[in-house]
Amino acid sequence: QVQLVESGGGLVQAGGSLRLSCAASGRTFSTTAMGWFRQAPGKEREFVAAIIWGDSSTVYADSVKGRFSISKDSAKNAVYLKMNSLKPEDTAVYYCAADNANRNHVFLQFSSAYQNWGQGTQVTVSS
């Protein structure tokens, strides 16, 4: 089991930036990829970005490409999401997730690919 704790959410004006962090603990040696998802009120959880632990390759949702950047620190068992040029439609609870099944970029865009989830952190972007 991997425990995930997100931090870094908050209130920001449109056009601003935030950096989310996700700290992993427990059986982190089994992690093969980590991802970020978000869920706005009344909407389904949607994929944001993912990073494969071995080669640091990344994949992004079209809605955040060029604005968000996912990165990792293997020594700290942490993953980050730098969010720039934030828009009101980015408002959501952001969740960190970990996969241990060596999935590729295609499958990592689906929430069902992940076995472990954090509790989420709220991001609110005001217009």
pLDDT at 59 (0 to 100):
97
Percentage above 90 pLDDT, the chain = 88
| Measured distance CA(118)–CA(99) in Å, rounded | 12
> Tokens standing for 55?
């080669």
64 in Cβ contact with 119 (< 8 Å): no
> Tokens standing for 65?
């490409």
Structure confidence by residue, pLDDT tens digits, 56-99: 999 999 999 999 999 999 999 999 999 999 999 999 999 999 99
Structure confidence by residue, pLDDT tens digits, 9-28: 999 999 999 999 999 999 88
For 47-55, which contacts have Cβ atoms below 8 Å and span 24 or more sequence positions?
47/108, 47/109, 47/110, 47/111, 48/81, 48/94, 49/81, 50/105, 50/108, 50/109, 51/79, 52/105, 52/108
Q: How many CB atoms lie within 10 A of CB 120?
A: 18
Structure confidence by residue, pLDDT tens digits, 38-48: 999 999 999 99
Structure confidence by residue, pLDDT tens digits, 100-119: 888 888 999 999 999 999 99
| Measured distance CA(24)–CA(68) in Å, rounded | 21
